[in-house]
Amino acid sequence: MIIAIDGPAAAGKGTLARRLAAHFGLAYLDTGAVYRAVARRLLDAGAVPTDEAAALAAARTVTADDLHDPRLRDEAVGRATSVVSALPAVRAALLDFQRRFAARPPGGEPGAVLDGRDIGTVVCPDATIKIFLTADPVERARRRAKELRERGLDTIDSRVLRDIRERDARDSSRATAPLVPAADAHVIDTTQLDADAAFAAALAYIATREI
């Protein structure tokens, strides 16, 4: 069983994916963290995100241990990640990592939940369940700003909203694996939904599928 959760930043993908993984006893992979790990390595090395050769080298050496670095949630890493993830060579290098996780989940779980931007369209086009989360950019910016403040970081709401919109534009317009719902994905708008309501909506949809 493979569940693909796609959508833009701060739509609630991670929270939903983790809850579904726990509910069904599946492995969980935040594919965004894989790209964030590449961006983190680039920043640590003093390289710019647009340096495709450096980004590719970082992508080829990323390990599972890198995904647990608390610095992956830094704003600077988030901005760099959006640039890095648009590089075709980086996406190709990380595609196998993600597919192997889905096909052979660690720990012997009977399946996996992956969340990201192109899981249902590129990484796992044959996923059992495909869900695309979306929400109004203003609401997503509010959530992201709240998250940053809870982590003790100073933030400006207008800048967070600008970053969200810029990232949406980059993710949706990139030539390789743009952010779009898969043709057979179930779309859930979480603008007016809290985490419990989004989880209930996802479970209701999954219950209608023959799996």
Tell if the pTM clears 0.95, that is, is over it: no
Locate the domains of the chain by residue range.
Answer: 2-202
CATH of the domain spanning 2-202, picked from 3.40.50.300, 3.40.1110.10, 3.40.50.360, 3.40.50.880: 3.40.50.300
pLDDT band for 148, please (50, 70, 90 cuts). confident
Residue 86 in this model has a pLDDT that exceeds 80: yes
CA of residue 163 relative to chain centroid, distance: 16
Inter-residue contact 141 to 191 (CB < 8 Å): no
Note the pLDDT of residue 177. Answer: 85
Q: What tens digit of pLDDT does each residue of 184-209 get?
A: 999 999 999 999 999 999 999 999 99
